[in-house]
Structure 1
Amino acid sequence: MLNEFAALRIRAGLSIDDVALMTGYSARQVQRWDAGVGKPREAAVRLLRSTASVAPEPATSRFNFIDLFAGIGGIRKGFDAIGGHCVFTSEWNKFSQQTYAANFRDNHPPHGDITTIGADEIPDHDVLLAGFPCQPFSIAGVSKKNSLGRSHGFADETQGTLFFDVARILKAKRPSAFLLENVKNLTSHDKGRTFQVILKTLREELGYKVWHKVIDAQHFLPQHRERIVIVGFRDDVPFTWDDLKLPTKGSVRLKAILHPEDASEKPEAAFTLGTNASVNDKYTLTDKLWQYLQGYADKHKAAGNGFGFGLVTPDDVTRTLSARYYKDGSEILVSQGKGKNPRRLTPRECARLMGYGDDFKIPVSDTQAYKQFGNSVAVPVFEAVARIMQPHIQTLVEASEQRKAA
């Protein structure tokens, strides 16, 4: 059951970072209050009450959605927050399934490889969510295919890619809306031809109205992380990216997600230890690894390359957290002052860097956790996109229900 603070935040349609910006408290502190840890400041509660009083209260399960290539549920969290109900999940990685199941109590377990699941096995739904991996597309001209007696269209141009599974489900189920996510470079892959096939499939073959935008998580979190978001609606709606109000980049700094190590948070074994909840020494780089990374950086600098480690302080914004972070942590190393080797982020700090609250359970090893957060989406980005999609989803769902009742 949500505590009052979290309930007011959701009712007001605000993300963790929205509240942090409005109140002046750190995102980490707001996350703690949202998770029910500690008593929130009365001024912050009053502000939320005031905001929530003029915001529409989300009804329960206003629409159904499915979560494909779900990872650990980052996209889903935004649609849970606007009243959606997840009726189907697919994620092939067994460790990600473990984390997903620990955090989302559904009446269905996460299903495995979507390529083995027929569309008839998937429940009807209003919205399809998919953070599909980008695989190379083999694109041949329609005229050549016709001369060879081969079919064309999405069934041929996207066959063998994971986007094909998104397309076949959209074709079979015809949900009111979808949201797809991918890396920024999707737009330039194969000189832009891959992205054009995707847009052609969604618009011409499947008949959806489609919008896309590259969004940097740095608007919400202390991390530079650009991802493309593709939004589609089955019918005409007045959707516009102009409704997406993004906070100023860099307004949240790394200190908002770091362990304070001053006894203001409870220790979380084995990330933090002792009465001050100090970061476990195991996250500090060994002399051998630190010397290697410095030597590697010096070698590439001398060669005129930009390769090297990313050393950050609490006042910085980080590079993009990647799935390889478990190897050496080189893209984000936290300075611990002169005379001490830097350290990796803990898995809990990685969760915060991706916008997950401290109530998010991490039931896997550090290695798996680093991979999962490095592969995840930045949660506040998709909370914000879900909010501007919500009225249009609701309009289409209500129209569909009226047609069925007529």
Structure 2
Amino acid sequence: MGKQIHIKVSDDIHRLLKEASAKNRKTVQEYVTTLLEYSLKEQLSLYSFLNKDTDYLQKEYSFRFIDLFAGIGGMRIAFENVNGHCVFTSEWDKFCQKTYYENFGDLPFGDITKINEKDIPDHDILLAGFPCQPFSIAGVSKKQSLGREHGFLDKTQGTLFFDVARIIKEKRPKAFLLENVKNLVNHDKGNTFKVITSTLRDLNYLIYYKVLDGKHFVPQHRERIFIVGLDKHVYGENFLFEFPTLPDPNKCVKDILEKKVDPKYTLSDNLWTYLQEYARKHKAKGNGFGFGLVDLSGVSRTLSARYYKDGSEILIPQKGKNPRKLTPRECARLQGFPEWFKIVVSDTQAYKQFGNAVTVPVVQAVAQQLVKTIDFNVTTYEREQRIAL
């Protein structure tokens, strides 16, 4: 039996609790219990992260890393698979936090903008799949015109990339890996990518980037840009990093399909009719918009976070029936998540989570190359001694 705690709250707070609990389809008591549970777990998780015996961990693992904008932990899985140890993680979405906690036992710190960079544990590699936002250089230009000093981070203020940059500046990891959509290079007419790379170079890091396609490991065409940074203070000006050569694609969609699938994933007659009519209209106009009926012996389109709406981008053909959507487990496989990975949220949330996730084996290939290339044990002092010799 549970224990009872009686507290008084204001009328305004009680009203908000009733509204929020109704939206979450819970009683007020259940909702308050959930809020307390995750709030306490977050505080305890942060305390645990900030008080880890890193000297002991360093003896067991090859390197330490932090996982920012962690989602459901795809990058963590990849780097743990190459003998890394996660010493801090951050993710604000409560549903992703639940999935992350159930799979790794760590509840991510919520809002990265609210943590002091000095409080984050020391680490060798920083990982971040940060959101893409437009940057403005107007503020910097104005300060220059007025003869005022400005810091290198000024141009990223107000964006979540600022939080990545301020942590890199303070903690100076030996390396970092950032991941984003392929179009980051062209976002905001190229200004976003220019500001990102110039900011990272201003921090005295060597920068390498490349677009990699998930189809080399999973049956999904999914292009993402990966940005690797190496600390010049540790590795010097001329250190070379090369992205891994990816294997020839050899996976097809039928490899990831479940044998028994609930009929609820089959499209209704109304939805299937609508999608066919929608595609027909756009084809008549010369557009390429429309559903994607998958060739089971080939690869699929890119899985997106909107897949929960109608599943139209990746539809599985069925004999004698309307096509169906992928199941959440099939989405997990399409992204290269291991079979042990627990799916603990609704289908809607699972589709969003896997649609936003990284393709795990692609990240792992980069992680292997990074670990093989750089020496985690070298110090700034040792590098200077090598150069002197």
Cα deviations by residue, 1:127-153 (Å, 9 ceiling, x for unpaired): 100000001111238554212355434
RMSD, matched Cα: 1.9
Larger RCO (CA under 8 A, 6+ residues apart): 1
Q: 1:347 to 1:143 in 2, by over 3 A?
A: closer
Q: 1:156 to 1:374 in 2, by over 3 A?
A: same
Match of 2:172 among 171, 174, 180: 174
Alpha-carbon deviation of 1:255?
Answer: 1.1
Alpha-carbon deviation of 1:154?
Answer: 3.2
Residue equivalent to 1:129 = 127
Question: What is the alpha-carbon distance in structure 1 between the residues aligned to residue 187 and residue 336 of structure 2?
Answer: 28
- Within the alignment, does 1:247 sit opposite 2:247 as a pair? yes
Residue equivalent to 1:257 = 256
TM-score by length of 2: 0.79
- Within the alignment, does 1:322 sit opposite 2:311 as a pair? no
Match of 1:305 among 283, 287, 293: 287
CA contact (8 A) 2:318 2:324 kept: yes
CA contact (8 A) 2:335 2:354 kept: yes
**3-state SS of 2:127 partner:** strand
Alpha-carbon deviation of 1:400?
Answer: 6.0
Question: What is the alpha-carbon distance in structure 2 between the residues aligned to residue 103 and residue 89 of structure 1?
Answer: 13
Residue equivalent to 2:365 = 384
Q: 1:143 to 1:368 in 2, by over 3 A?
A: closer
**3-state SS of 2:365 partner:** helix
- Within the alignment, does 1:114 sit opposite 2:112 as a pair? yes
Residue equivalent to 1:7 = none
Match of 1:336 among 299, 306, 318: 318
- Within the alignment, does 1:218 sit opposite 2:215 as a pair? yes
- Within the alignment, does 1:352 sit opposite 2:333 as a pair? yes
Residue equivalent to 1:95 = 95
Residue equivalent to 2:356 = 375
Question: What is the alpha-carbon distance in structure 1 between the residues aligned to residue 186 and residue 74 of structure 2?
Answer: 25
- Within the alignment, does 1:186 sit opposite 2:184 as a pair? yes
Alpha-carbon deviation of 1:177?
Answer: 0.7
- Within the alignment, does 1:291 sit opposite 2:273 as a pair? yes
What aligned pairs does 1:194-209 form with structure 2 within 5 A after superposition?
194-203=192-201, 205-209=202-206
Q: 1:400 to 1:361 in 2, by over 3 A?
A: farther
CA contact (8 A) 1:88 1:123 kept: yes
CA contact (8 A) 1:239 1:389 kept: no
Question: What is the alpha-carbon distance in structure 2 between the residues aligned to residue 121 and residue 334 of structure 1?
Answer: 48
Cα deviations by residue, 1:54-113 (Å, 9 ceiling, x for unpaired): xxxx9831211110000001111111011111110100000001111111134xx31001
Q: 1:59 to 1:118 in 2, by over 3 A?
A: closer
CA contact (8 A) 1:72 1:372 kept: yes
**3-state SS of 2:64 partner:** strand
**3-state SS of 1:64 partner:** strand
CA contact (8 A) 1:59 1:83 kept: no
Question: What is the alpha-carbon distance in structure 2 between the residues aligned to residue 82 and residue 401 of structure 1?
Answer: 27
Cα deviations by residue, 1:263-314 (Å, 9 ceiling, x for unpaired): xxxxxxxxxxxxxxx1000000000110111111111111111110000132
Q: 1:143 to 1:292 in 2, by over 3 A?
A: closer
Consecutive unaligned residues in structure 2, runs of 5 or more = 1-57, 384-389
Match of 2:225 among 228, 248, 267: 228
TM-score by length of 1: 0.76
Q: Percent identity?
A: 65
Residue equivalent to 1:264 = none
Consecutive unaligned residues in structure 1, runs of 5 or more = 1-57, 262-277
**3-state SS of 2:377 partner:** helix
Question: What is the alpha-carbon distance in structure 1 between the residues aligned to residue 118 and residue 198 of structure 2?
Answer: 25
- Within the alignment, does 1:397 sit opposite 2:373 as a pair? no
Question: What is the alpha-carbon distance in structure 2 between the residues aligned to residue 360 and residue 401 of structure 1?
Answer: 42
Alpha-carbon deviation of 1:241?
Answer: 2.1
Question: What is the alpha-carbon distance in structure 2 between the residues aligned to residue 175 and residue 139 of structure 1?
Answer: 27
State the one-letter code of the partner of 1:110. P
User: Which protein has the larger Cα radius of gyration, Structure 1 or Structure 2?
Assistant: 2
Q: How many residues align?
A: 322
Q: 1:166 to 1:341 in 2, by over 3 A?
A: same
State the one-letter code of the partner of 1:378. T
CA contact (8 A) 1:129 1:180 kept: yes
Question: What is the alpha-carbon distance in structure 2 between the residues aligned to residue 336 and residue 154 of structure 1?
Answer: 56
